[in-house]
Amino acid sequence: MDCKYKRILLKISGEALAGGADHGIDAETVMKISHVIKNVTEMGVEVALVVGGGNFWRGAGAKDMDRTTSDYMGVLGTIINGLAFQDALEKIGVETRVQTAIEMRQIAEPYIRRKAVRHLEKGRVVIFSGGSGNPYFSTDTTAALRAAEINADIILLAKNGVDGVYSDDPKKNPDSKKFDELKYIDILKNGLKIMDSTATSLCMDNKIPILVFGIENPENIEKIVKGENIGTIIEEV
């Protein structure tokens, strides 16, 4: 099958994995997304995954706590989510490797770029956990960094509760306009809170397109790979 993209990096927020709950992991949601990832790999597309940790802990939002410590706690949340995805994917016959930015050799491989690329070439799904391994950097920045390192064709930015980029919060403002395409500079200039500015700048410098879409319908991932116009594409037009 002809696919628009050969190698994708899928970024899923931690909150999306909680299902309807405030926190934790909803096994049904993870399995639903995993089935779609399986379908995409069977189409011959190489898939890398970066998962956030917001369903357990948000480093930047912690009060009365050292920011560095708080961020490292968030990093551990991303590893829990990564292992949950590995378990779900392997249950349905998808070979996976979890690589962590902070060494935890008993449960995952350390992040080694060449190894990650080799796994992708062999058709394995590579799950990048542990963020970038540094405090003060979001998992959006990790997604941009890893996408650049593995030469991904695109970052699929899966959002919870929104199906693209809007001029204003569509839940609060019914008149807000949805964009089909944007330039990186528009995101930075207008302060659109899609990715943080570090991640957006990294994508802009390395010309990595970002496609923002809603994860409520995980089948959107398949449609995007086939070339359907879904969500909002951000690139240098």
| Residue 82, domain CATH | 3.40.1160.10
Q: What is the pLDDT of residue 63?
A: 81
Identify whether 161 is part of a domain. no
* Short-list 4, 59, 65, 53, CA closest to 24: 53
Q: Would strands 210-214 and 154-159 be described as parallel, antiparallel, or unpaired?
A: parallel
Q: What is the pLDDT of residue 191?
A: 82
CA 71 to chain centre: 18
Identify whether 197 is part of a domain. no
Query: Which are the contacts of 17, defined by CB distance < 8 A and separation ≥ 6?
Result: 25, 26, 29, 30, 51, 55, 81, 84
Domain membership of residue 210 as a residue range: 7-153+202-234
Q: Nearest-5° angle of CA 95, CA 100, CA 101?
A: 145
Identify whether 90 is part of a domain. yes
Backbone CA torsion sign across 155, 54, 230, 185: negative
* Burial call 10-31: b when 16+ CB within 10 Å, e when fewer: bbbbbbbbbbeeeeebbeebbb
Tens digit of each residue's pLDDT (9 = 90 or more) over 74-107: 999 999 999 999 999 999 999 999 999 999 999 9
Q: What is the mean pLDDT of the chain?
A: 93
Tens digit of each residue's pLDDT (9 = 90 or more) over 122-167: 999 999 999 999 999 999 999 999 999 999 999 999 988 888 888 8
Q: Nearest-5° angle of CA 22, CA 62, CA 80?
A: 55
Q: How far apart are CA 83 and CA 108, in angstroms?
A: 9
93 vs 1, higher pLDDT: 93
Q: Which tokens go with 145?
A: 């960094």
Identify whether 173 is part of a domain. no
Identify whether 166 is part of a domain. no
Q: Is the pLDDT of residue 1 over 70?
A: no
User: For residue 157, what are the β-bridge partners?
Assistant: 11, 212
Identify whether 84 is part of a domain. yes
Identify whether 165 is part of a domain. no
Identify whether 211 is part of a domain. yes
Lowest mean pLDDT among 12-16, 187-191, 196-200: 187-191
Overall number of domains in the chain: 1
* Short-list 179, 189, 185, 167, CA closest to 211: 179
Q: What is the pLDDT of residue 71?
A: 93
Ramachandran angles phi, psi of 166, nearest 5°: -120, 160
Q: Is the pLDDT of residue 33 over 70?
A: yes
Q: Is the pLDDT of residue 24 over 70?
A: yes
Tell me, yes or no, if the pTM score tops 0.75: yes
